[in-house]
Amino acid sequence: MAPILTSFKDDALIALDNLADRAAGLVTPSVRLGVTGLSRAGKTVFISSLVHNLLNGGRLPVFEPVRSGRVSKIRLEPQPDDAVPRFQYEDHIAALVRDRSWPDSTRAISQLRITLDYESASGWSRLLSPGRLSIDIVDYPGEWLLDLPLLSQDFRQFSDATVQRARTGMRAELSSEWLGLAAALGASTPADEGSARRLAESFTAYLKACKEDDRSLSTLPPGRFLMPGDLEGSPALTFSPLPDLPAGRAPKGSLWAMMERRYEAYKTHVVKPFFREHFARLDRQIVLVDALQAVNRGTEALKDLEQALADVLACFRPGVNSWLTSFVTRKIDRVLIAATKADHLHHESHDRLERITARLVGRATERIGMSGAGLEVMALASVRATREATVDHDGHRLPVIVGTPIAGEKINGEIFDGEKKTAIFPGDLPEDPELLFEAVDRVSASALSASAPEQAMPELNFVRFRPPHLEETRGGLKLSVPHIRLDRAMQFLLGDRLA
């Protein structure tokens, strides 16, 4: 059952926002595409590659409007929301193409508008439609999306759920300092700003430790504790869950009362505005997932990613927008779950990566009733950093990938300098995803402990590669960014709006 995220007042404000959007859309038809994902899933790279391929005539054979020649002109235009930072496409693509370095990851919300002039495939539509569509790409951190379930939780529920997670598995050791400090202070102790600050700092340190690459845990709300921006140091970010709260209400003037008040302020001043002003106005959504990283880190990271995706999908309002009801409310009628970094595997394993990702979101999609035409799962690489080859090893032909590892990456004791290419056998994902998830399902919350043995996972060999070197045409123009299935993603998310 999806959480209740809005009040009657919130719904009224959302309706006013949507009415304004739809009125503007009568003059300039538009679709708002949300792009999100958890850290290091490649949101910035996805947007940069999508726009670069559209603007530079990239190879997009599955994106029917471009393949058929019905799109006559593509251009960037000023975004309609003057108060939202612009997605700095030019800087990000320069990093990819010129410097061969990955651009900085998403730290806050940003937006970009790209407009396509096209000829409809339908003669009737050509008479009624202006043949122009603006795509407003809204980029936001996935950690912010994980905050939305907090709108349906009071402070006690939030504390109980967070502390329960913190006492299981690898989190138990990471949270020991924070939980020890919270227990020593006590919920009923008099409120004190110094104590609140120490608790918030210790809780934040725990969240950051969970997020580190060698752990790669995903369910880490509140999201702004990891990405505070201009709210850093504010009371709305200076709170902490409290363990083992007694029955009843918080005593007046207590640390508990202070934490509860600030938690509610966080929901009111941080989470609700994001939901109303941005999330509730989306038409389409892509959620980028680094499933390979979770598989590589073990069953606990994979189980945590499954929970994070369940929380994310529970926030969507799935369904079909009718012409009339879309003026006052919006439903995200298409969601794409994309497993990124498919170029880190040989193509023979791409379908296996898709099946693992589909299994990750399967239970959540059943709960919210989004399946079939409304949901798609695919493996892609927004920027293809490798090529495929085969090598002879002990009389066997092994499928390998060839690329330039980032400086400092290690393979079999060799440290790479960022210039040398190498061939890597990445390993094989299991053909049947249930072989992974049988181990994941055994890792139940009650069975987890800091000393619990990690379940067997496939041996995979992943390293980070530099973006590819792009050849130039005789005129000095860089060719479009190579990709894997970016065109298929475009067709699912946008193809029907350009029919």
pLDDT tens-digit map of 227-251: 887 888 899 999 999 999 999 999 9
Q: Indicate whether 167 and 197 sit together in one domain.
A: yes
Q: Is the peptide bond before 222 cis (omega within 30 degrees of 0)?
A: yes
Domain boundary among 245, 272, 299: 272
Three-state secondary structure call for residue 371: coil
Q: Could you tell me if 109 and 125 lie in one domain?
A: yes
pLDDT at 15: 52
Residues of the chain with pLDDT under 50: 1-2, 14, 320-328, 445-453
Look at residue 201 and tell me if it is in a domain: yes
Other beta carbons within 10 Å of 224? 22
Torsion of CA 103, 106, 108, 109, to 10 degrees: 100
Compute how many other C-beta atoms are within 10 angstroms of the C-beta atom of residue 436: 24
Same domain, 418 and 343: no
Q: Is residue 440 assigned to a domain? A: no
DSSP string of 409-444, one letter each residue: -EETTEEP-SS--EEE------SSTHHHHHHHHH--
- Say whether both 310 and 350 belong to one domain: yes
Q: Are residue 167 and residue 210 in the same domain, yes or no?
A: yes
**194 shares a domain with 117:** no
Say if residue 82 is in the same domain as residue 52: yes
Does residue 438 fall inside a structural domain? no
User: Residue 223 and residue 433: Cα distance in Å, rounded?
Assistant: 30
β-strand pairing of 132-139 with 110-118: antiparallel
Q: How far is CA 376 from CA 32, 486, 490, in A?
A: 18, 13, 12
Among 272, 289, 324, identify where a domain stops.
Answer: 272
- Do 345 and 491 belong together in one domain? yes
Can you tell me which residue has the tokens 């709170």?
A: 239
Total tally of structural domains belonging to the chain: 3
Please enumerate in sequence order all residues whose Cβ is within 8 A of that of 351, keeping only pairs 6 or more positions apart, or say none.
379
CATH of the domain at 118: 3.40.50.300
- Please tell me the predicted confidence (pLDDT) of residue 456: 55
473, part of any domain: no
Query: What was the pLDDT predicted at 401?
Result: 95
The counts of H helices and E strands in the chain are 17, 12
Q: Would you state the torsion angle of the CA atoms of residues 153, 159, 165, 170, taken in this order, to the nearest 10 degrees?
A: 140
DSSP H/E element including 89: helix 89-97
Instruction: Name the residue among 107, 140, 155 with its Cα closest to residue 266.
Output: 155
Q: What angle do CA 338, 420, 458 make, to 5 degrees?
A: 45
Q: What six digits make up the tokens of 291?
A: 């499933």
Within a domain: 475:
no
| Beta-bridge partners for 269 | none
pLDDT for the residue 463: 86
Residues 259 and 156 both lie in one domain = yes
Amino acid identity of 9?
A: K
Backbone angles phi, psi at 68, to 5 degrees: -80, -5
CA pair distance 192, 199, nearest whole angstrom: 11
Same domain, 114 and 253: no
Rounded to whole angstroms, how far apart are CA atoms 409 and 368?
A: 41
Residue 13 forms part of a structural domain: yes
Rounded distance between C-alpha atoms, residue 409 and residue 407, angstroms: 6
**What is the extent of the structural domain holding 46?**
8-140+278-385+482-498
Task: Please tell me the predicted confidence (pLDDT) of residue 27.
Answer: 57
Residue that terminates a domain, selected from 272, 306, 337: 272
pTM value is 0.87
What would the pLDDT profile of 89-143 be if each residue is shown by its tens digit?
Answer: 999 999 999 899 999 887 889 999 999 999 987 655 555 566 999 999 999 998 8
Residues 334 and 358 in one domain: yes
Task: For residues 12 and 428, give the distance between their C-alpha atoms in angstroms, rounded to a whole number.
Answer: 51
Is residue 455 a part of any domain in this protein?
Answer: no
Residues 399 and 362 in one domain: no
Pick from 423, 479, 403, 452: which is nearest to 102 by CA? Answer: 403
246 domain-assigned: yes
